[in-house]
Amino acid sequence: MQIAYRLSQIQSLSGADQLDGAFEGMITGIAALRDAEPGDLSFLGNKKYTPEVKESRASVILVPIEYQGTPKAGQCFVRVGNPSLALARICGELESQLWPWPEANIHPSAVIHETAEIGLGAHIGPGCVIEADAKIGDRSWLQAQVFVGRGVLMGERCWLRPNVTIYADCILGDRVRIHAGTVIGSDGFGYESPSGVHEKVPQIGNVVIENDVEIGANTAIDRARFSSTRIGEGAKIDNLVQIAHNVHIGPHCLIVAQAGVSGSTVLENHVVVAGQAGITGHLRLAAGTIVGAQGGIHFDTEPGKYYRGSPALEASLANRIHILSKRLPELFKRLEKIEESLLPSAH
Amino acid sequence: MQIAYRLSQIQSLSGADQLDGAFEGMITGIAALRDAEPGDLSFLGNKKYTPEVKESRASVILVPIEYQGTPKAGQCFVRVGNPSLALARICGELESQLWPWPEANIHPSAVIHETAEIGLGAHIGPGCVIEADAKIGDRSWLQAQVFVGRGVLMGERCWLRPNVTIYADCILGDRVRIHAGTVIGSDGFGYESPSGVHEKVPQIGNVVIENDVEIGANTAIDRARFSSTRIGEGAKIDNLVQIAHNVHIGPHCLIVAQAGVSGSTVLENHVVVAGQAGITGHLRLAAGTIVGAQGGIHFDTEPGKYYRGSPALEASLANRIHILSKRLPELFKRLEKIEESLLPSAH
Amino acid sequence: MQIAYRLSQIQSLSGADQLDGAFEGMITGIAALRDAEPGDLSFLGNKKYTPEVKESRASVILVPIEYQGTPKAGQCFVRVGNPSLALARICGELESQLWPWPEANIHPSAVIHETAEIGLGAHIGPGCVIEADAKIGDRSWLQAQVFVGRGVLMGERCWLRPNVTIYADCILGDRVRIHAGTVIGSDGFGYESPSGVHEKVPQIGNVVIENDVEIGANTAIDRARFSSTRIGEGAKIDNLVQIAHNVHIGPHCLIVAQAGVSGSTVLENHVVVAGQAGITGHLRLAAGTIVGAQGGIHFDTEPGKYYRGSPALEASLANRIHILSKRLPELFKRLEKIEESLLPSAH
């Protein structure tokens, strides 16, 4: 990553009012506090790393307004409300330089059905397959080897990475980003077994993904039995996540890697499901629910509450029980001591 | 999903003898009880939703024979033994209309080795790659961008979705369905480390998938070290599942999303492994074993028994321990009280 | 798998000094002790299977030097220090016959940017896409449908299986093997949410994979926010593993299927993470740490120690607590008994 910024550009991109110290050269890299070299931009985004600011060789450091400390000679502190957010905005500018949105193009190796509609300015990369009646919105970017099934409707400025598969009849809003290897619209896992042999329950619904959703790599989102599996506006889903049929993920939820949500469960808005957690089917997780990593939820939750463990409990109780369970050896010893002390009195 | 059925067709497809009420119009959709509009078909498949039948605006509802209640005016109840199964059969009919099995075709962009054999009526979609000596059975459908390695044998009427990878020498029976992104025949995870450096144990066996198996999206099934990893007839495997080398999955097993089975373990017939559960290697799970979600099995199991927890216990014991562990805070208090009560008498 | 070896070849490949008994025919297969037929080679690699040696019909068996027992008539025991390793070397020879490294070739259906550099002897299979400024090292083998993004640097003799995706700017060393469906360099999961709407934190770093790393199927390794996510020399990663942004996996680590490592965590060398385990972010796992299956680590670890459970404890403590927790029903009864015995004395 080769960059070249002046301090004034950093100040402008980060919206900072206050600079401590000065740096006259070019900023040529971004690095963590510990790894930074002269010429690098760094930031204090997590209090855990506060002691590293003093040691850092970075030329420019984004620090919180309230940070106590002064820069070394030739070093500049840029004071901002949220250093992580400020850096995100600087990196966003960089990203658009590194990987500029491509010009309109349809690669000759792409296989596009004659009834498919490709929007203005869309970029369809090599090896893509677009089936009948699919619509690709204006300026959307299918990078390479993407499959878009029959009748899929895709909004504007979507970005689909290589080897993404969108099954027939699914619907994507605007600015949806999907990472490589992810599958949208595979069949839900449904069988009837009247005699011990599993008879398939056809899955003839679809998946609807609303605006501004981002989905990680190698995730799977199943189509509904009928009606729709739905991913709400602005929700963010990480890698290797399983979303089963008929699930509704509310707006602005965060689903971390390797988590799974079973069939027909509803997550209201702003639910956070941490990594490797699992949610049983046919539940409702109220707005703002937080599920800890590896947690297993098998009940409806209350708004804004934090749950941990498998099976899950409210986090404060789960924590107490974890601490007390470490004392089980002591508990058994104390019990034995009491029993022994009571023995003589039984005589 | 646009449909148009008469009540008489629903009756015939569901095998129902008994109708309560009447509906004269066309059935134009399928929806859950709560979401249904006039013109929709709905069903009562889970007792949890019984109260919703009364409120439902569906024109036709599949209900169990023993359901207590009568339809509203202009509404019809179709009484069947198993409403979910009846709906599955209706949807199966619909599915075959929505996505009819394609005509024989080999897309010009497919790359097929001259020694590969393509069965009668097979449909090979765009971007597929079929290596030397592979055989594709009659009427099998490789949708797009599928990879079939050297010497693979595939039966009749298989359906492989986009971006599926079948490694060399694997064998698929008839009517096998594999969803997008799934990998069959990757190397088992085996190394010898005589000096701290891991030396690869080559994996030169294969994977054998018997008739009527369905496998979800982004699942991985490793080839055997030598001999075969085997998936038994009629077994159903969900998304993001890991099946390690030399595992035998018995006939009619169900393996739910994100579960994993370690090397050389044998599942007899009709074992159910729920989501995110893990099975240690070199075990035997007896017929009909059930493993609860997120369970961790590290011992051979007994036929038909239900296990939960990590490490797993028989479910009834696991449940009792979960309930008692929630009472640990109380337990410690009671113990302290006893200890205090005993202190004076120690004087 | 068709093979034909003489005993002398097996002896030579395994480096064995000592043979017990004799077998004059051709060795035509490899099988587990229990499954072997006359003509097969078998091995005793796990003490659990010792009793099966006596019953085995294999013509040649690799056994440990110290194995007590003698071969049947017409059967030969090949005594070696490590039968699994000896078999691995024999199978390595076989593997190179079964799937010989291919001749230099660029398939006409591959789409290769004019600025990409393809090394001497490299084999680029059908449907591959290689973007601008990428470099593919000498003799590397991209099997089919592989995507290599802009500016990727790949060393010599790498083997990438079908449907692998390497995002822009990632770096691979020599002899890296990556199985089908795996994604290298997807965006890390990072958002800032100043007002409840998640604003993307661009991920403009890369992934660096050192020499002799092997990665399984459908795994995802995210690029760093800036700088690099790093996989150390000789590390082996299984299927469906999640490696988050900025993680450093040390040399010779083993990460088993479905495990996950959260952002910025560092694993020193020779760490073993068993299946479905999860590691929280911003941690350091010391050299030789072992994490048990389904374990959840949320603290820095000590060198060479073994941890289990979620949340994890040192394994010896976790085991004791698991055993004691099974006695919770008994514990409650004993407590009640004491309370009852104390009641009369309260009078």
Question: Which tens digit of pLDDT belongs to each residue from C43-63?
Answer: 998 888 999 999 999 999 999
Whole-angstrom CA distances from B221 to B279, C216, C239, C272 are 15, 11, 9, 22
Assign C226 a pLDDT band (cuts: 50, 70, 90).
confident
Q: Is the ipTM of this complex over 0.85?
A: yes
Those residues whose C-beta lies under 8 Å from the C-beta of residue A268, and which sit 6 or more positions away, are A250, A284, A285, A286, A287, A288, A289, A303
pLDDT on residue A296: 98
Architecture, CATH, for domain C106-261: 3 Solenoid (2.160)
Using the Cβ of A200 and the Cβ atoms of chain B, whether some distance falls under 8 Å is answered with yes
- Cβ contact, residue pair A144, C145, below 8 Å: no
Architecture, CATH, for domain A106-319: 3 Solenoid (2.160)
Of A94, A179, A335, the CB nearest to C186: A179
- Cβ contact, residue pair A111, B95, below 8 Å: no
pLDDT on residue C207: 98
Using the Cβ of B341 and the Cβ atoms of chain A, whether some distance falls under 8 Å is answered with no
- Cβ contact, residue pair B321, C325, below 8 Å: yes
Min Cα distance C195 → chain B (Å) is: 32
Of B30, B276, B342, the CB nearest to A226: B30
| CB interface of C with B, residues 219-248, below 8 Å | 234, 236, 238-240
DSSP C81: S
| CATH 2.160.10.10 residue window(s) in chain A | 106-319
Q: Which residue has the higher pLDDT, C2 or A10?
A: A10
Coil, helix or strand at residue B20: strand
- Provide the percentage of residues in chain C whose pLDDT is more than 70: 98
The residue of B47, B160, B163, B215 whose CB has the most chain A CBs within 10 angstroms, and thus the best one to mutate to test that interface, is: B163
Kindly state the average pLDDT of the residues B18-38. Answer: 91
Of A165, A186, A324, the CB nearest to B329: A324
pLDDT on residue C17: 78
Q: How far apart are CA A4 and CA A92, in angstroms?
A: 15
| CATH 2.160.10.10 residue window(s) in chain B | 105-319
Kindly state the average pLDDT of the residues C24-28. Answer: 92
Pair of tokens at residue B30: 């399928």
Which residues partner with C220 through β-bridges? Answer: C183, C242
Kindly state the average pLDDT of the residues B298-317. Answer: 97
For residue C40, is pLDDT > 50? yes
The model's pTM: 0.95
Q: Which residue has the higher pLDDT, C246 or C96?
A: C246
Closest-CA residue of chain A to C127: A127
- Cβ contact, residue pair B181, A189, below 8 Å: no
The residue of C50, C145, C253 whose CB has the most chain B CBs within 10 angstroms, and thus the best one to mutate to test that interface, is: C145
Pair of tokens at residue C275: 């299946």
pLDDT on residue C18: 87
Residues of C annotated as catalytic (active site), given as ranges: 245
Q: How far apart are CA B257 and CA C13, in angstroms?
A: 42
Those residues whose C-beta lies under 8 Å from the C-beta of residue A159, and which sit 6 or more positions away, are A140, A141, A143, A176, A177, A178
Q: How far apart are CA C112 and CA C115, in angstroms?
A: 8
Catalytic residue (choose from B245, B248, B252, B270): B245
Cis bond before residue C329 (omega within 30° of 0): no
| CB interface of B with C, residues 14-33, below 8 Å | none
Nearest Cα neighbor of B208 from B248, B180, B177 is: B248
Q: Which CATH superfamily is domain B7-98 in?
A: MurE/MurF, N-terminal domain (3.40.1390.10)
Those residues whose C-beta lies under 8 Å from the C-beta of residue B3, and which sit 6 or more positions away, are B27, B28, B29, B30, B94
Of C143, C258, C332, the CB nearest to B324: C332
For residue C76, is pLDDT > 80? yes
pLDDT on residue B175: 98
Q: What is the pLDDT along chain A (347 residues), one digit of tens a residue?
A: 567 889 999 999 988 878 999 999 999 989 889 989 999 999 998 888 999 999 999 999 999 999 999 999 999 999 999 999 999 889 888 888 888 999 999 999 999 999 999 999 999 999 999 999 999 999 999 999 999 999 999 999 999 999 999 999 999 999 999 999 999 999 999 999 888 899 999 999 999 999 999 999 999 999 999 899 999 999 999 999 999 999 999 999 999 999 999 999 999 999 999 999 999 999 999 999 999 999 999 999 999 999 999 999 999 999 999 999 999 999 999 999 999 988 765 44
Integer-rounded Cα Rg, in Å, for chain B is 26
Q: How far apart are CA B92 and CA A162, in angstroms?
A: 32
**DSSP E strands, A115-196:** 117-118, 123-124, 129-130, 135-136, 141-142, 147-148, 153-154, 159-160, 165-166, 171-172, 177-178, 183-186, 191-192
Chain B CB contacts of C238 under 8 Å are: 189, 242
Instruction: Look up residue A186 and give its amino acid.
Output: S
| CB interface of C with A, residues 52-111, below 8 Å | 109, 111
Sheet holding A306-308, edge to edge: A105-106, A123-124, A141-142, A159-160, A177-178, A214-215, A236-237, A254-255, A272-273, A290-291, A306-308, A313-314
- Cβ contact, residue pair B278, C294, below 8 Å: yes
Question: Which tens digit of pLDDT belongs to each residue from B209-256?
Answer: 999 999 999 999 999 998 999 999 999 999 999 999 999 999 999 999
Whole-angstrom CA distances from C307 to A163, A242, A326, C279, C292 are 37, 27, 14, 12, 6
In degrees, rounded to 5, the angle at the alpha carbon of residue B50 between the alpha carbons of residues B44 and B53 is 70
- Cβ contact, residue pair C181, A109, below 8 Å: no
For residue B134, is pLDDT > 60? yes
Q: How far apart are CA B222 and CA B263, in angstroms?
A: 9
The residue of B50, B240, B347 whose CB has the most chain A CBs within 10 angstroms, and thus the best one to mutate to test that interface, is: B240
The residue of A153, A163, A242 whose CB has the most chain B CBs within 10 angstroms, and thus the best one to mutate to test that interface, is: A242
Chain B CB contacts of C31 under 8 Å are: 226-227
For residue C182, is pLDDT > 90? yes
pLDDT on residue A346: 47
- Cβ contact, residue pair B198, C87, below 8 Å: no
Of C84, C234, C342, the CB nearest to B198: C234
Contact in structure between C311 and C329 (CB atoms under 8 Å): no
Min Cα distance A252 → chain B (Å) is: 24
Q: Which class for C316: exposed (0-12), middle (13-18), buried (19 or more C-beta within 10 A)? A: exposed
Which residues partner with C184 through β-bridges? Answer: C166, C221
Q: What is the third-level CATH fold of B105-319?
A: UDP N-Acetylglucosamine Acyltransferase; domain 1 (2.160.10)
pLDDT on residue C168: 97
Q: What does residue C165 show for φ and ψ, rounded to 5 degrees?
A: -120, 120
Q: Which residue has the tokens 């990428």?
A: C134
Kindly state the average pLDDT of the residues C102-112. Answer: 98
pLDDT on residue C346: 47
Min Cα distance C293 → chain A (Å) is: 12
